[in-house]
Amino acid sequence: MPRLRELAGRPDVRTDLLQIVKSVIAATAAWWLSAHVLDSPLPFLAPWTALLTVHATVHRSLSRGVQTTVASAIGVGLSFLIGFYLGVNVWTFALAMFVGLAGARITWIRDEGVAIATTAVFVLSSGFSDQQPLLLDRIIEVAVGVGIGVLVNLLIIPPMRDQQAASHVDRIDRRIGDILINMSDEFSTSWETDAADAWRREIESVSDEVETAWGTVHFARESRRSNPRLARQRLGRGQPAGEGVDYEEVLGRVDEAVSHLRHLIRTLHEATYAEGPWDERFRSEWASIARDAGHAIADPDAEMASIHDRLVGLTHAMAEDGRLPRDSWPVYGSLLTSMFHIAVLIDDVASE
């Protein structure tokens, strides 16, 4: 039960469940209308096209719905031409499939172009001689199915993926913050190559999640196009939640942070083989800065001193101290530079 409650609380699970429910409503309504209002003897085209039209976003439902209508109409016309002039047999059926699949490559209906071939399958397989006088009715059924699919997606909680995008970005931020906190805890005392290897595996996993998040962020942007919820929210309470956030910009910054963190981990991994002790002042200060940076990126609302200013202070202090061996500066400088970049990105993400 706790696992089910956790799943039910996730925005992506709720959105998927809502899409399933809307697809069921659209297909069922289209079937009922086709069977009981249009009195269709084969009421399958309307629910089939309705099912295909309920997409993840309103914009996609509209654009794909138009493509489905055009492709299905072409499929019906293709079936009529082949069935009327050549008859229905194994060779003409194959010809219809070939022409339909070739037509599916047309650029402006490519997303739903396969409907040319599938509609031809339905029409030719359902008894062409009986269906021939009713080809116009078949086209009407396709249009009805598409119309119902678009209408359901417009009226029943039109999908907006902002919550999913925000959830993805927040989860990635927390994972990056946890890596920095763990890194600071290890670095403040001592660490081994195994610890650096574990950080490297974790940051590669985070990098994979960033790739997945890009798809969600692009969906979030698309879900706002042609979406009536935006107009209702603006009329009701001003700017909709999340409208001022550019999730693509945020995720781009997070992606950069992952890159710099990967470099930071590589530097620490190679430093495990270096000879000689660390400067304890640098070790303590840098670990404290890294820990606070981890907390800052995991929780952008947290109040703490500027990470950037503390890094500048540490750099000046180490440069003025004069006791640091020259051979140590490349490694120390690399750690400072990576943290400088991460600190800038933390400020950018917190601002967004």
**Between residues 156 and 267, which one has the greater pLDDT?**
267
**pLDDT tens-place string over residues 286-335:** 888 888 888 888 776 666 667 888 888 888 888 777 666 667 778 888 88
Instruction: Give which of 127, 131, 120 is closest to 98, Cα–Cα.
Output: 120
| Cβ atoms of residues 187 and 290 within 8 Å | yes
> Position 313: which residue type?
G
Indicate the average pLDDT of the chain.
77
Q: What average pLDDT does this structure show over 112-121?
A: 82
| Cβ atoms of residues 175 and 199 within 8 Å | no
- Supply the pTM of this predicted model: 0.59
Q: What percent of the chain is predicted at pLDDT more than 90?
A: 4
SS3 322: coil
Query: Rounded to the nearest 10 degrees, what angle do helices 329-351 and 247-271 cross at?
Result: 160
**pLDDT tens-place string over residues 130-143:** 555 566 777 788 88
| Cβ atoms of residues 202 and 294 within 8 Å | no
Q: What average pLDDT does this structure show over 172-197?
A: 79
CA angle 56–57–60, rounded 5-degree value? 100
Residue 194 has pLDDT above 90, yes or no: no
**pLDDT tens-place string over residues 24-63:** 999 999 999 988 888 887 788 889 888 888 876 776 777 7
Burial 295-308 (b: 16+ CB within 10 A, else e): bbbbebeeeeeebb
Tell me which of 114-118, 125-129, 194-198, 202-206 is least confident. 125-129
- What is residue 38's predicted lDDT score, i.e. its pLDDT? 84
Q: What average pLDDT does this structure show over 185-212?
A: 79
What distances in angstroms separate CA 266 from CA 17, 51, 69, 330, one per listed residue?
A: 42, 50, 54, 13
